[in-house]
Chain A
């Protein structure tokens, strides 16, 4: 595997379900990100992890719960979602040193549909 991988690629879930999205980066980076991309809206940053520590939570509802067990893996746990949460969820990784912003590389995304 190379780059940034995400599973599953497509997910349909009911509002009462619990599911998890997985992201893995093979680039040796130390920062990982979750973004949400809805139709006609800019990419929305959700969470940032730097060296496994959460450094940014962009006022995301608690029904989204991130987990970063190590610098290579990132999860997004989903529960009791709403239909408006249907979107493309993108994971990205980068080097991040001393507050600088280095180029981020994206995974293929998970297309989530909440019914």
Chain B
């Protein structure tokens, strides 16, 4: 079982719609969850992080966390063509020397069509 799973997509939504990206994880001890956006040929850019169950909103982005069900999601409201990118979910796990490390999912490709 993969530690962090995402549907690779592509997820295609029309401009102005809500895009919903989902991620599940296997380590129940994980406490920190991150969403990164990666444009083609670029490095990942942090857009949201969430530590507590529930919703966290930042502009057009909302991260949702449900630790009991071990999933985290990202909602993008009023999607724009510029949101077209790959979205990476990352989850912290405890490393071999008690140092935190992130495990990344394979990413979901989002296409926003004008």
Q: Which residues of B contact A56 (CB under 8 A)?
A: 95-97, 99, 101
Q: Are A109 and B100 in contact (CB under 8 A)?
A: no
- The count of residues in chain B whose C-beta lies closer than 8 Å to any C-beta of chain A is 29
Complex: chain A residue closest to B99, CB-CB: A55
Q: A48-B95, A56-B95 known; A102 and B43 CB under 8 Å?
A: no
Q: Which residues of A contact B4 (CB under 8 A)?
A: 42
A60 adjacent to chain B (CB < 8 Å):
no
Tell me the complex Cα distance, A103–B100, Å.
Answer: 11
- For window 75-110 of A, CB contacts with B under 8 Å fall at 88, 90, 96, 98-109
Q: Are A100 and B32 in contact (CB under 8 A)?
A: yes
- Identify whether the interface residues of A are mostly helix, strand, loop, or mixed: loop
Q: A106-B45, A108-B42 known; A45 and B92 CB under 8 Å?
A: no
Q: A107-B43, A109-B43 known; A102 and B32 CB under 8 Å?
A: yes
Q: A56-B95, A108-B42 known; A102 and B104 CB under 8 Å?
A: no
Q: Give the Cβ gap from B39 to chain A, nearest Cβ, in Å.
A: 12
B66 adjacent to chain A (CB < 8 Å):
no
